[in-house]
């Protein structure tokens, strides 16, 4: 009897370990390119889990999802403890594709992929929240402000899925990827000095003049997070931990608090739900990852409160109708 009991306990323990291993998916493909891969950590829950997506920075020329698995696993544990799934993605660099294709096929494409596979990973496909620093933050903002790219009809089921998100985090990131917006707010001289040919080469255009053609204008409009922000966009956290110094180098120019201020001011003028953390204005913190965590968690709490309130109102309305 004792041997049988011991064997059962051992088998039960092995099953638990196996189940825990199944909660982690590393280097999974969401596309055919070698960089279209992701890591996913799922919470141990039977409920459909909200999903947080970390999008790395690096100017679309460097960076990796591995910064999470190498140095920031504490984040995964924090989210999983709250019943939230956490994903980190790689995407193609500008050497592989144009910026507009990266946004649509990699950034939005991953959101669509996770919605298509929500049942497989036990995810709540309605609650997807991206964030990141620099390029990752701007990619998250692009998702937050862009119209849904889902098609009404397509033979590809992926294309039918929504690209819209529940909330987003923009950390030390850019105001827009239409660089004529930079000309307006930061000056053409500085923009040309620090950005140079990126103004058109990121779009795979051949010259500066091409950004003002019909095709160039269409691309710029598609990538203009500032211009595309509207009243129906999701809640957004804007954060910047840089000093408000005179710009002397490209790194400060593309990450300046001015980007954050412009975006947060427009968001507030539209009545969007926002949280703003700017070090230079005395509102920043030393833990932007923690700010995002608190922001996302509060959005989920607010949603639960709204659901309970709505449920209560519907119940009262039903009783009134019966009377």
The ranges assigned to domains in the chain are 23-174+233-315, 178-222
**DSSP notation for 148-177:** P---SS-SSGGGGS----S-EEEES--S-S
**Is 60 exceeded by the pLDDT of residue 21?**
no
What average pLDDT does the chain have? Answer: 91
Provide the pLDDT for residue 20: 45
The CATH number of 23-174+233-315, from 3.30.428.10, 3.40.50.1820, 3.30.420.10, 3.40.1280.10, is 3.40.50.1820
High-pLDDT (> 70) share of the chain, %: 88
Sheet holding 85-89, edge to edge: 24-29, 37-41, 85-89, 49-55, 123-133, 168-171, 236-240, 274-278
* Mean pLDDT lowest among 46-60, 136-150, 208-222, 294-308: 294-308
**Is 80 exceeded by the pLDDT of residue 41?**
yes
The model carries a pTM of 0.89
Residues 229-244 as b or e (16 or more Cβ within 10 Å = b): beeebbbbbbbbbbee
High-pLDDT (> 90) share of the chain, %: 84
User: Residue 29 and residue 82: Cα distance in Å, rounded?
Assistant: 26
């Amino acid at each position: 009897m004792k041997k049988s009991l011991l064997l059962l306990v051992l088998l039960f323990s092995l099953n638990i370990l196996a189940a825990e291993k199944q909660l982690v998916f590393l280097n999974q493909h969401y596309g055919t390119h070698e960089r279209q891969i992701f890591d996913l950590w799922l919470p141990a829950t039977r409920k459909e889990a909200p999903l947080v997506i970390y999008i790395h920075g690096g100017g679309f020329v460097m960076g990796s999802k591995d910064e999470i698995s190498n140095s920031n696993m504490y984040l995964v544990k924090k989210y999983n403890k709250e019943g939230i799934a956490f994903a980190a993605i790689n995407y193609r660099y500008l050497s592989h594709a144009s910026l507009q294709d990266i946004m649509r096929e990699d950034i939005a494409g991953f959101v669509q992929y996770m919605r298509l596979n929500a049942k497989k990973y036990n995810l709540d496909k309605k609650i997807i929240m991206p964030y990141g620093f620099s390029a990752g933050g701007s990619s998250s903002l692009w998702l937050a402000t862009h119209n849904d790219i889902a098609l009404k009809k397509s033979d590809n089921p992926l294309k039918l899925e929504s690209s819209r998100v529940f909330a987003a985090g923009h950390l030390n990131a850019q105001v827009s990827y239409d660089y004529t917006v930079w000309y307006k707010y930061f000056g053409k001289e500085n923009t040309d000095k620090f950005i140079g040919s990126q103004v058109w080469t990121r779009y795979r255009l051949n010259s500066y003049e091409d950004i003002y053609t019909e095709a160039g204008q269409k691309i710029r409009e598609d990538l203009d997070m500032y211009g595309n922000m509207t009243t129906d966009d999701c809640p957004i956290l804007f954060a910047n931990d840089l000093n408000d110094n005179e710009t002397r180098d490209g790194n400060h120019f593309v990450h300046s608090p001015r980007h954050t201020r412009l975006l947060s001011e427009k968001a507030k003028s539209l009545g969007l739900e926002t949280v703003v953390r700017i070090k230079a204005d005395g509102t920043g913190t030393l833990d932007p990852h923690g700010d995002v965590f608190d922001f996302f968690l509060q959005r989920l709490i607010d949603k639960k409160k709204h659901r309970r309130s709505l449920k209560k109102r519907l119940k009262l309305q039903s009783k009134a109708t019966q009377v």
